[in-house]
Amino acid sequence: MENHTPPDRALMKDLTIENITDNVCIINSNCDNVRLKFLLDRLVNYLHDFARETRLSITEWEAAIGFLVQVGKISTDVRHEFVLLSDVLGLSLLVDAIDHPKHPGATEGTVLGPFHTADAHVVGAGHQISHDPNGEPLLAVCSIRDTAGRPLGGVSVDVWETDSKGFYDVQYADRVEPDGRAIVESDADGVIFFKAIVPVPYPIPHDGPVGKLLMKLKRHPYRPSHMHFMFKKPGYDRLITALYLRGDPYESSDAVFGVKESLVVDLYKVGDHEGYAEKYGVPPETKLLTYDFVLLTNEEALKVRDAEAWKEAKRQGGLKVVDGLLVPEDASETSTTKTATD
């Protein structure tokens, strides 16, 4: 990565299987964003290695291009087929694991999935977030704390789940309002509680190009029963996670690799907890979901992320860490890395 050759030294004619990769990287190296330059350099190298080592045929390349176009075409604000593709290839889980390295005291993250939307309503404590009359009633009572065990109030918590048939609201063509999703805020005791329905297993959308790919790979499209959560609070690391129901038939074969043992929960009954039925105004036989979430501060998250990044930098050699991101050791300190994703 120490190549300082100016781009005007790039060969741009008579390029071959052997020399094209270096020359594409040289011509890209004019970029003054060191992180973007680094990402492009690695991307071009891996993309070319993939084509070279598989000897990708033009017919296969055409099929891949056609596939990607279809994935883009079917994507909308509420159908995220590229996220789904990333999910079934294990990339989403991997990126989450990289960006949210395990911290012994904090809740593990998992895949966002393709069904998060930006239009959920902010609702008050105790709200019923699902309006499916066929769903099995569920009360969720969860706490949110920092790693020192202090309750965190004012956390914005995005929650989303399917209806009793296993469909998210956005999978209905006649959707007018968000349903099965809401944004709740933790109170001063760091508690959120809301009414919902017991999650059910469901297939990820498999009527599109990603579903066809799964079929060719003889993979089933099912996800085990779960409820999604996204936690946001200024000063704290955004946590995207989910809770999975123990004993689900797909607990050990999730199509998108999201299940973690620490996120698998048993459901109880509200009546099992003294005073809960009265306090939350639900019948004692109502199913109860509880969990104690622990968020990292930005500093704690950056510290563990930085430590992991430096470990990787040392493993590879020739790299350093700036703003938590890997860049070549010789990259100018003044170069902006923050705009890599602008």
How far apart, in whole angstroms, are the C-alpha atoms of residue 195 and residue 282?
9
Cα–Cα nearest to 246, from 235, 262, 230, 233? 262
Could you say whether residue 307 binds its own copies (CB under 8 A)?
Answer: no
Cα–Cα nearest to 235, from 168, 288, 143, 300? 300
Q: Which is nearer to its own copies, 97 or 191 (CB)?
A: 97
Q: Which residue has the tokens 């904090």?
A: 106
Which residue in 122, 125, 215, 307 binds its own copies (CB under 8 A)? 215
Q: Which is nearer to its own copies, 70 or 297 (CB)?
A: 70
Are residues 309 and 325 in contact, defined by beta-carbon separation less than 8 angstroms?
yes
Could you say whether residue 252 binds its own copies (CB under 8 A)?
Answer: yes
Could you say whether residue 334 binds its own copies (CB under 8 A)?
Answer: no
Q: Which is nearer to its own copies, 192 or 240 (CB)?
A: 240
How far apart, in whole angstroms, are the C-alpha atoms of residue 329 and residue 256?
35
Could you say whether residue 6 binds its own copies (CB under 8 A)?
Answer: yes
Query: For residue 331, what are its two tokens?
Result: 């990259």
Contacts with its own copies by CB under 8 A: the residue count is 97
Could you say whether residue 3 binds its own copies (CB under 8 A)?
Answer: yes
Measure the N-to-C terminal CA separation of the chain; round to a whole number of Å: 24
Q: Which one of 120-128, 174-182, 273-281, 305-313 is the stretch in contact with its own copies (CB under 8 A)?
A: 305-313
Could you say whether residue 298 binds its own copies (CB under 8 A)?
Answer: no
**Which residues within the stretch 84-103 sit at the binding site for its own copies (CB under 8 A)?**
86, 89-100
How far apart, in whole angstroms, are the C-alpha atoms of residue 294 and residue 303?
16
- Sign, CA dihedral 295-297-301-303, equals negative
Q: Which one of 83-91, 124-132, 141-149, 266-274 is the stretch in contact with its own copies (CB under 8 A)?
A: 83-91
Could you say whether residue 20 binds its own copies (CB under 8 A)?
Answer: yes
Could you say whether residue 49 binds its own copies (CB under 8 A)?
Answer: yes
Which residue in 9, 65, 172, 285 binds its own copies (CB under 8 A)? 65
Which residue in 148, 216, 234, 274 binds its own copies (CB under 8 A)? 216
Q: Which is nearer to its own copies, 70 or 143 (CB)?
A: 70
How far apart, in whole angstroms, are the C-alpha atoms of residue 319 and residue 185?
41
Q: Which is nearer to its own copies, 257 or 293 (CB)?
A: 257
Q: Which is nearer to its own copies, 30 or 278 (CB)?
A: 30
**Which residues within the stretch 101-160 sit at the binding site for its own copies (CB under 8 A)?**
none
Contacts with 149 (C-beta within 8 Å, 6 or more apart), sequence order = none
Cα–Cα nearest to 105, from 166, 75, 143, 146? 146
How far apart, in whole angstroms, are the C-alpha atoms of residue 242 and residue 264?
9
Could you say whether residue 257 binds its own copies (CB under 8 A)?
Answer: yes
Q: Which is nearer to its own copies, 334 or 341 (CB)?
A: 341
